[in-house]
Structure 1
Amino acid sequence: MNVQKLDTFGGHRDGVYALEAGPTADSFFSAGGDGMVVRWQLDRPDLGSLVAQVPASVYALHYEQDRNRLWVGQNYEGLHLIDPANRVEVGSLKLTNAAIFDIKQYADTVFVALSDGVVVVLDAQQLAVRRHLKASDQSARCIAINPVERELAVGYSDHQVRIFDLNTLALKHTLSAHVNSVFTVAYTPDFQTLITGSRDARLKSWDAEQGYALRQEVVAHMFAINHVTFSPDGQLMATASMDKSIKIWDAQTLRLLKVVDRARHAGHGTSVNRLLWSAYQNMLLSASDDRTISVWQVGK
């Protein structure tokens, strides 16, 4: 497997924690500790444009294509909805004074994971709170949605992954998944398997069709796994870690295919926090504490 670094996007003044696909295939958004929300073009790394500036760190972004709204989770304040084309705020919601770790949407329902252990369930059209899911006293860190099995997976800092019914929001399964905080959860593109990654540096796969029986466990990194994402064709998976590396895996077998690091590929010098695998020319993006976003071409 060949991995080539194509570009570096710089301009953030603090660590970059969030990446989100943009309204066009060749665009994306980033945000981080400096409160800046930036729109970029993949073919023009010199043309970043500031779409919003908020006074606190941003860990979570969500772009709503139908309404052309960018949801920005501002820590300790709540949600800002931005029209990225006109760079204006079109709505806001003072949810909480907790940190916002993840935002995911299914149909007209938005799920927001908070550091106080609550998952807030919102009506996207009305911008109104429907429910508060409180299943733990420790942080809700990450969310994944399975529209096939109609389930919602949430990873928590109490080491558990909890599976909720997407319609009734009833708790269906509690997985004693890891021995430390669960930082990332993602369903495979066929929605048959749930992948979880943790501060314990382990990657696990769970059978979503068989009551979440554990399929496989891999000691994947030296330090915490911050994020996992899949290639557009679903054949590959990438993990980002606090150990400064990105690793590429066979999505079916969890076989390690490539290590992308500073020594061999001019990778990041500090923690890699977030990934985004774009369908635009199969580019993999990585965001880091080093304040940059790197763009990688992954090929066989």
Structure 2
Amino acid sequence: MPDVSLLHTLSGHQNPIFTLAIGASNTLFSGGNDKGVVEWDLHTMQFRRILCAVTHSVYALHHIPNTDLLAIGLRSGEVMIVDYVQQKLVAKMKTESGAVFALQAIPEKSELIAIGEEGVAYVYDTIHFKLLYRFRVSKDTVRTIALDSVASTVYFGDKAGAIYQYSLADYEPMQQALVHTMPVTSLCLVGKQLLSGGRDAKLYQIATPDFAVQHEITPHMFTVYGIVSNADQSQIATASRDKTWKIWDPKTLTLLKNISVDRGYDSHKLSINTILWHEQRVYTAGDDKTIKVWDVSAD
């Protein structure tokens, strides 16, 4: 059973937080309804600086691996690329319409996928940030992406409750299935299983070869906003609008730990909108404008 303890609470945002990203050198980035992306020093657990100003809400942050670049997805449909070491804007791209809700780098191809409200995926190269491909995934909003580098595929979840699988080689569709009765809000790949969370408060364990549902549970009372795994994929964590985050066995979906105010933790008092698991720490943030840094270790 995991042992969970609160290490620190990072305060300073004036509005709800929607997204987090880890950079190099113990750096954490956060964004939401504020007019800037915030950079935090995880050595000192202190505010470092406003990395960059933004004109619209930030819905997605994504560190591009093996670089000092942070991709930022905005409600305006823009994608900003910022060098967080030199603190300078490298590129700015604009999708056709609607907000950008999800970003995913493909390190093997030096590419970045952006997708959101219009259900269209935009693929940029991560050298010059030129548009390489544009293809429609869904007629509905897409809020989440999961990457399977081993199988060279990528998964998208849409507002209608459907999940789509695409080939990374040519971005051709492979299969799709209607899984949830409400929007898909989180995806996480663990081995050959795809875990999917939705606004219907459901968590599905799906076999990637044929999209067969292997297991279904109701992990939270409301929307499952995030699913993340630890490094060896022996545990997963989910976060929800019901103000709780929980740790599970990904194979059996057995509950291992429930972290909430009701369970005696100094946790969030409003919706948890985003969750990260990096090394032995879990980071959660949400509508209460705070980021909680948790230590997770074997009991």
TM-score between both structures, scaled by the size of structure 2: 0.95
Counterpart for residue 149 of structure 1: 151
Amino acid at match of 1:293: I
* Contact 2:164-2:173 within 8 A present in 1 as well: yes
Q: Hey, what's the Cα distance between the residues in 2 that align with 1:18 and 1:96?
A: 22
Identity among equivalent pairs (%): 28
Residue 239 of structure 1 is matched in structure 2 by 238
Match in the other structure for 1:173: 175
Runs of 4 or more above 4 Å deviation: none
Structure 1: which 5+ runs fail to align? none
| Counterpart check, 1:271 vs 2:271 | yes
Match of residue 287 from structure 1: 285
Match of 2:294 in 1: 296
Q: Deviation at 1:34?
A: 0.7
Q: Residue in 2 aligned with 1:53?
A: 53
8 Å CA contact 1:16–1:288 kept in 2: the answer is: yes
Deviations 1:69-100 (A, max 9, x none): 11111211411111112221121112234111
Contact 1:136 1:158 in 2 (8 A): no
| TM-score scaled by length of structure 1 | 0.94
Report the Cα offset of residue 271 of structure 1. 0.6
How far off is 1:66 after superposition? 2.8
CA distance in 2, matches of 1:103, 1:50: 21
Residue 68 of structure 1 corresponds to which residue in structure 2? 68
Tell me the secondary structure at the aligned position of residue 66 of structure 2. coil
Aligned residues of 1:12 and 1:36 also touching (Cα < 8 A): no
RMSD: 1.3
Which ranges in structure 2 are unaligned for 5 or more consecutive residues? none
1:222 CA displacement: 0.2
Counterpart of 2:4? Answer: 3
CA distance in structure 1 between the aligned counterparts of 2:170 and 2:154, rounded to whole angstroms: 11
Aligned residue type for 2:9: T
Amino acid at match of 1:253: T
Query: Is residue 241–residue 273 contact of structure 1 (8 Å, CA) maintained in 2?
Result: yes
Q: Deviations over 1:106-146 (max 9, x none)?
A: 13121111111111122222312122221322101111111
For residues 245-279 of structure 1, give each alpha carbon's deviation from its aligned partner in whole angstroms, at most 9, with x where no partner exists: 00110122211011111222011011101111111
* 1:1-300 → structure 2 map (5 Å cutoff): 1-24=2-25, 26-107=26-107, 108-188=110-190, 190=191, 192-208=192-208, 210-263=209-262, 264-279=264-279, 282-299=280-297, 300=299
Q: Is contact 1:23-1:65 (8 Å) kept?
A: no
Q: Separation in 1 of the partners of 2:291 and 2:195?
A: 24
1:6 Cα shift?
1.1
Q: Return the alpha-carbon distance in structure 1 between the equivalents of residues 43 and 142 of structure 2.
A: 35
Residue by residue, what CA displacement relative to the aligned partner does 1:15-47 show, whole Å, maximum 9, x if unpaired?
1111111112x2211111113211112232223
| Contact residue 97 and residue 117 of structure 2 kept, 8 A | no
1:120-173 alpha-carbon deviations (Å, 9 max, x no partner):
122222312122221322101111111121111000001100111111211111
